[in-house]
Structure 1
Amino acid sequence: MIIERDNPAGLHSTPGYHHVTTVESRRLVFLAGQCPLAADGQVVPGGLGAQTDQIVANTLTALRSAGAAPEQVVRTVIYVASSVGEELAEVWARLNDSALAPAFSTASTLLGVAALGFPEQLVELDVTAALD
């Protein structure tokens, strides 16, 4: 498998992700949106930080089940139920300080949204990985 990441000249510099990710792969893995749910199906308490940590744990578990690692992630979309820039930045920083951090060096989008699927849910992560 070949994953190439690029920031072409003429585009703005980024806080760690790449504008363009090109992949030659035999297998793609698409994860369902990873929510901040504990194994019992309940949204974890503790606010944005705790929920971000839970989506990291859930995403790592899902990737491992497919035989994938964070370094093989080629696209992420991060949804935060907030329009406050500081809260979006907090999620981005926390993700990039986690064991999942290599996943965010690729093509990535961070969105503030009005609401997510579960009551009290503040964050969700959509991930695509490429494997040999």
Structure 2
Amino acid sequence: MTIERSNPEGLHATPGYHHVTRVQADTLVYLAGQCPLRPTGELAEGGLEGQTAQVITNIRTALEAAGATPEHVVRTVIYVASPDREDLSAVWTQLNASPLGPAFTTASTLLGVAQLGFPGQLVEVDVTAAL
């Protein structure tokens, strides 16, 4: 399996992610959008920071179950239920500073959205990995 990440000339500089991720792999792993739900099914407490921490835990658990690590991630889409760019930036910073950080050096998209699937849910992350 090979993963090549690049930022082609002619595209803007990025805050850590790559514009292009080229993958040659035997297996692709698609995670369902990981929500800030604890194993009990309850929404994580602690607002945006607490929910983001739970999403990080959930992604790490799901990747491990698939035999993958953050370095195997080839695409992420981050959804934040907020129109405030400071909230989006805070989630991006927390994700990158976590043990999951290498997952966000690949092709990534960060979106502010009107709402997510569960009442009170503030963040969700969609992840694709290659093995």
TM-score w.r.t. structure 1 length?
Answer: 0.99
The gaps in structure 1 that reach 5 residues or longer are none
Return the offset for 1:27: 0.2
Counterparts of residues 1-132 of structure 1 (less than 5 Å) = 1-131=1-131
Shift of 1:14: 0.2
Aligned residues: 131
Give the Cα–Cα distance (whole angstroms) in 1 for the partners of residues 5 and 83 of structure 2. Answer: 29
Q: How much does 1:45 deviate?
A: 1.1
- Stretches of 4+ aligned residues off by more than 2 angstroms: none
Structure 1 Cα separation of the partners of residues 96 and 67 of structure 2: 22
Distance in 2, matches of 1:39 and 1:122, equals 17
Cα separation, 1, equivalents of 2:33 and 2:10: 32
Unaligned 5+ runs, structure 2 = none
The separation in 2 between residues aligned to 1:62 and 1:25, in whole angstroms, is 19
Identical counterparts, % of pairs? 66
Listed one character per residue, the Cα deviations across residues 24-50 of structure 1 (whole Å, up to 9, x for unaligned) are: 000000000000000100111110000
In 2, the alpha carbon distance for the partners of 1:70 and 1:44 equals: 22
Q: TM-score, normalised by structure 2?
A: 1.00
SS at match of 1:77: strand
2: CA distance, partners of 1:23 / 1:60: 21
